[in-house]
Amino acid sequence: MKRTFVDRLARYRVHLGFAAAAVALMLVRPTPRTWLAGAVVAACGELLRIWAAGHIEKGREITRSGPYRFMRHPLYVGSALIGAGFAMAAWSLPVAVLCAAYLGLTLAAAVRVEEATLDERFAGAYSAYREGRAAPVARRFSLRRAIANREYRAVAGLLLAFAWLYWRL
């Protein structure tokens, strides 16, 4: 199967994120006020990601519980909030542009590839979910599931990034 640019962008988005973060972390100019405001926004994004990770069964089903009752991609929305919070805290126009470009391109690619894959794998069930025709599923949040989905890595990355920003105050 020939991979398109969008497929490669979606597949390597984490690697690209590390490269973008390395550049961004050198360009930050946080102030106490921007650090705090950005930390609040980023924490909200991470809480959304944790909530989503505690509900999703990746690759096994079309998840329709927790935040998936309200939005199709809460993990990506959470990531976008984290990026916005980081850009706010960094107080740097180049960092804001870099964050917006990285998140806009990679998340759009990931959504496109993921939706096509899910619709194919689950024989149109994802289309029903996307169109609001699928009933929500009752499932409790599971911290064990969030850990199994390795959300602790995002938490660690967020803490390290904001520690760096704090050090740069």
pLDDT at residue 6 above 80? yes
Average pLDDT of every residue of the chain? 96
* 40-90 residue pLDDT tens: 999 999 999 999 999 999 989 999 999 999 999 999 999 999 999 999 999
Confirm whether pTM is higher than 0.85: yes
Number of domains in the chain: 1
**Residue 1: pLDDT above 70?**
no
Q: Is the pLDDT of residue 2 over 80?
A: no
User: For 113-152, what is each residue's pLDDT tens digit?
Assistant: 999 999 999 988 999 999 999 988 899 999 999 999 999 9
Say if residues 72 and 120 touch (Cβ distance below 8 Å): no
- Domain hosting 141: range is 5-167
